Amino acid sequence: MRIDWLTVGAQWINFLLLMWLLRRYLYQPILRAMDKRQQTIAARSAAAAEKSARAEQLARDYLDKLAELDARRAELLLAARAAADAERTKLMEQARADAKAESDQWRRDLAREKTDFQRQINRQLGGLITATARKAVQELCSKPLEQALCDRFLERLQQLPAEEKRLFTEPHPGELLLASSFELDAAQRNRFESALRDILANDVSLRFETLRNSSFGVVLSSADHTLEWQLERYFAELQAELDATLTQTERKPPADAEPGLNLEFPQALPE
């Protein structure tokens, strides 16, 4: 069989031309479209992956924020509870302090009223006792009460031990002070001066004054020693005995009180 090389060459040329045409106008657009499609798919996949990562990060941030808010809420609750407890404690302490201050003020007012009442009673009682004693002494001894007091005072001074008498003139001799709740006349002053020179010392100097804050009494004092007789001293002893009696009475529970029952008011508010 004879081969026509011209035909063969033409066929090869046609085949190559066809392949070039197919590559130029068919395969290249298809490949470019496939590459573009692949690039688009890759870009979309990358964008989807990025969005997914961003969503996961947002979810993690949201969970972290929730955890932080829960922790912050717990801290705020603890702080609020601590502040409330501190305020409650402060208010309770303030209430106790106010109650104690009111109680102390009430006790001070009561003590002041008691003292004023005692002074008033002492003045009234002193005047009554003095008037009664003056009348009794006048009837029994036929002399004024003041004179009887002066006589008794000089007797007490005369009966003092020698060591106590020397306290009026030794170791710091000086002017003696005689204070009386009533006015001494000239005869009584002369009598005191003469008696003190006889009992204590010849060179004794005596000064007279009015005894204030005393309803009835006489006080002889020097720089180192004092001898006195005052009606208030008996009032003080009487008041001490009365207070002791009242205290014992207050400490005794009532007959109808239950055993162990506390009858005293609390000093502070209970918690």
- The domain segmentation of the chain, as residue ranges, is 144-249
Q: Tell me: cis bond preceding 171? Omega within 30 of 0 counts.
A: yes
Q: Please say whether the beta carbons of 73 and 245 come within 8 A.
A: no
pLDDT band at 135 (very low <50, low <70, confident <90, very high): low
H or E element that contains 152: helix 145-158
Q: How confident is the model at residue 260 (pLDDT cuts 50, 70, 90)?
A: very low
Could you tell me how many helices (H) and strands (E) the chain has, helices first? 6, 4
pLDDT exceeds cutoff 60 at 85: yes
Structure tokens at 24: 């130029």
**Closest by CA position to 192, among listed 227, 161, 141:** 227
- Residue 216, judged by CB atoms within 10 A of its CB (0-12, 13-18, 19+), counts as buried
pLDDT at 251 exceeding the cut of 70:
no
pTM for this predicted structure? 0.42
Q: What is the mean pLDDT of the chain?
A: 79
d(Cα 88, Cα 269) in Å, to the nearest integer? 13
The predicted pLDDT at position 139 comes to 59
Whole-Å CA distances, 189 to 63, 129, 159: 107, 25, 20
Tokens, residue 206: 């005596």
The shares of helix, strand and coil residues in the chain, as percent rounded to the nearest 5, are 70, 10, 20
- Alpha helices for the chain (secondary structure H): 5-22, 28-141, 145-158, 162-166, 186-199, 231-251
Q: Is pLDDT at 254 greater than 80 in this prediction?
A: no
Are 148 and 200 spatial neighbours (Cβ–Cβ below 8 Å)? no
Say if CB 211 and CB 179 are below 8 A apart.
yes
Average pLDDT over residues 7-24: 82
CB pairs under 8 A, 24+ apart, for 262-265? none
